[in-house]
Chain A
Amino acid sequence: MYSETVKEHFFNPQNLLEGQPDESEFNGFGQVGSPACGDMMKVWVLVDESSDRILSMKWQTFGCASAIASTSMMSVIVTEGEGMTTDEAFEITPQMICDRLGGLPNRKIHCSVLGDKALQKAVNDFYRRSKQFDRVRVDRAKVVDPDTNITDKDIQEAVLEGAKDLESLQAKLKVAIGNPEFLPDVEKLLHFYVSKYYG
């Protein structure tokens, strides 16, 4: 059922992060999926700010062989040669990963569509940490703070990750710090999500 390449990446996964991440070795992190849905990926990147190239990408995946092989292959695609620029990283599609794997069985293709989302989140995280807010790319989410490009989805995720008050939210997202006029919207969303998820 699986190509040799897929099996190769499953039994010999590349760039796996073993154990706990050393925070000093990465400057971007992204996570997608959940155990309930059967697929979850964590991606850590190290981007060289001056060249904008991704020097290192490590990952961990909970999911089937297709999911594991896809994240492994993606990490190779991203870091081969001198490493992709962050813009190039945004161009990665599940189709690209699938092609490099020599194809996946039809009903397994959906298993390979989360990896690039995790990578995009990791790159966006790097942009925020390095204050390149104008480069943060989001699709179809409502921006609540134009300076940082933080969207309602970002607030939702920060709450899901444990931020229950403005202080912890701002520590996570640096949202509306320089611009108090956006605070009311931010607080409304914060309270909405806190009561939704924590009762």
Chain B
Amino acid sequence: MTVQQEIQELLKGRPKKFIYLDHAATTYVDSRVYEAMQPFFQVEFGNPGGFYELGKRAADAMQAARETVAGVLGCRAEEIIFTGSGTESDNMAVLGVARKRAKEGKHVIISAIEHHAVERPAEQLEKEGFEVTKVPVDKFGRIRVEDVKAALRDDTVLVSIMYANNEIGTIQPIYEIGTLLKDHKALFHTDACQAAGALDLNVEKLGVDLMTLNGSKIYGPKGVGVLYIRKGVEIQPLVFGGGQERGKRSGTENVANIVGMAKALSIAQAESETENARLKELRDKLIDGLTKIPKTILNGHPELRLPNNVNVSILDIEGEAFTLFLNEMGIYASTGSACTSTSLDPSHVILATGLPYECAHGSVRFSLGRKTTEEEIDYVLEVVPRVVSILRKISPLNLDADKVREKGQGDLKYI
């Protein structure tokens, strides 16, 4: 069979509906969340600052939401701030803490695999005269606590390490880092957007001073985030105005979104045990099947990883071409290839684990969700090897997987 024929045969099996495997990018809004939000658009539309009944009811709904979120995190309601996104919360934490504490020190520590919502504000701090140290990760994308310890200085005011990485799913030793930082003046922030629903968010146990969450990863609405700020911690706000959210984030509160966020988080928390077990099984089946394809490497830690995350590098083919083919076959996934990023840089996370550029260009992420079924996983496992075979025939490459691995494992120094 020629390649053209192979492609035509494959495309004949196009399904009518699509299979969504990009939940780490965003999720649909759960019906229960949607229902909980409904009243606040047209009926209970009051501004929580209004002193009439309509306003008071909106304020009460918001307070209830705040208490729900605080319950999940094991903190006080007044320590919860609602923002417009996870990115905004990250910016508030990084810029807000550093700028407030600049007189005590101008050194900040982040990991080499933070989301851009933490990386970019850190770069901004450098322009403002701060020094930023990026702690490296091992080949599984995991931070070593000793490396954080070694990076700490007398003038370190903030350490920001994400709880679980969005690209390769690796879970970080937040509790151990929190313990380390107990006796240091540096504040500890974690971006927990991917961890919500999957991992324990108790801020006392984790030992964090600030934590970011968002709605769009947990079957809540887009455009809402949470920033937990431990009582006593002061930050400089980013947005000034009417003084809402204890002066930390002005702007008329989006009560519908806030209610949605709280509902989504409480559902995620309640269902986490069963859902995580279900997801892990499907995830591992997918990982097993994909790594059986020749020259396919699993990215991230095999066990200490999010229950819904699968990320592999498939050698000799390029990620955008791969995901476009998958898209045509009704499978929606994402890639760490340079060709899909707006900056034309390949995934900094894959590179940080020590793998070479070839692996970033051929990386694919599948992130499972609440409606993912075993049939869908089976279908993916049927389609992927065929797409790989076709693209490998189109490609002139035949990389030696072992040489590629060698090339990648260099000395991981502080950046």
Q: Which of B358-376 contact A (CB under 8 A)?
A: 358, 361
The contact of A64 among B2, B337, B358, by CB within 8 Å, is B337
Q: Does B180 contact A (CB under 8 A)?
A: no
Nearest A residue to B1 via CB reads A18
Contact, CB under 8 Å: B395 / A18: no
CB within 8 Å of B: which A56-93 residues: 60-68
Contacts of B396 in A (CB 8 A): 31, 40-42, 60-62
Considering only residues 324-351 of chain B, those with a C-beta below 8 Å from chain A are 324, 328, 337-340, 342, 344, 346
**Are A38 and B361 also in contact (CB < 8 A) when A10-B324, A61-B395, A64-B318 are?**
yes
Bound state CA distance, A66 and B320, in angstroms? 9
Does B394 touch A at the CB level, under 8 Å?
yes
Q: How many residues of B contact A (CB 8 A)?
A: 31
* B11 CB-CB contact with A under 8 Å: yes
Flag A1-28 by CB within 8 Å of B: 1 or 0 each. Answer: 0100000001111001011000000000
Tell me the nearest residue of chain A to B324, going by C-beta: A65
Residues of B within 8 A of A16 (CB): 3-4, 393-394
Residues of chain B within 8 A of A60, CB atoms compared = 394-396
> Is there an interface contact between B11 and A62, defined as CB atoms closer than 8 Å?
no
Whether A61 touches B394, Cβ cut-off 8 Å, given contacts A38-B346, A108-B339, is: yes
CB-CB under 8 A for A64 and B395, given A36-B358, A38-B318: no
Task: Name the residue among B320, B337, B342 with the largest chain A CB count within 10 angstroms.
Answer: B320
Q: Is there a chain B Cβ closer than 8 Å to A111's Cβ? A: yes
Tell me what chain A mostly uses at the interface: helix, strand, loop, or mixed: mixed
Q: For chains A and B in complex, what number of residue pairs have CB atoms within 8 angstroms? A: 80
Known interface pairs A61-B394, A64-B320; A38-B3 also in contact (CB < 8 Å):
no
Whether a CB of chain B sits under 8 angstroms from the CB of A135 is no
B23 CB → nearest A CB, Å: 22
B317 interfacial by beta-carbon distance below 8 Å = yes
Q: Bound complex: CA of A107 vs CA of B393, how far in Å?
A: 26
Interface size on A, residues (CB 8 A): 30
Taking a contact as CB atoms under 8 Å apart, the answer to whether A11 and B7 are in contact is yes
Q: B150: CB under 8 A from chain A?
A: no
If A12-B7, A16-B394 touch, does A36 touch B357 (CB 8 Å cutoff)? yes
Q: Does A196 sit within 8 A of B, measured CB to CB?
A: no
Task: For B4, list chain A residues within 8 Å (CB).
Answer: 12-13, 16
A37 CB contacts on chain B under 8 angstroms: 357
Could you say which of B318, B324, B344 contacts A62, with CB atoms under 8 Å apart? B318
Known contacts A38-B346, A107-B342, A11 near B358 by CB under 8 Å: no
How many angstroms between the C-alpha atoms of A60 and B340 in the bound complex?
A: 21
Residues of chain B contacted by A180 (CB below 8 angstroms) = none
B128 CB → nearest A CB, Å: 30
CA distance A47 to B395 in the complex (A): 24
- In the complex, A157→B165 CA distance in Å? 40
Closest residue of A by beta carbon distance from B10: A11
B interface, CB within 8 angstroms of A: 2-4, 7-8, 11, 316-321, 324, 328, 337-340, 342, 344, 346, 356-358, 361, 393-397, 399
Apart from A18-B2, A62-B316: 18 A-B pairs, beta carbons within 8 A: A11-B7, A11-B328, A12-B7, A18-B3, A31-B396, A36-B358, A38-B318, A38-B339, A38-B357, A39-B318, A41-B396, A60-B395, A62-B317, A62-B396, A64-B324, A66-B339, A67-B321, A110-B344
- Complex A-B, nearest 9 residue pairs according to Cβ-Cβ distance, in ascending order: A64-B320, A60-B396, A64-B339, A62-B395, A36-B357, A38-B361, A42-B396, A35-B358, A65-B324
Q: Can you list 10 A-B pairs, Cβ within 8 angstroms, ordered by A?
A: A2-B324, A10-B321, A13-B394, A16-B393, A35-B316, A35-B358, A35-B397, A36-B356, A38-B318, A65-B324
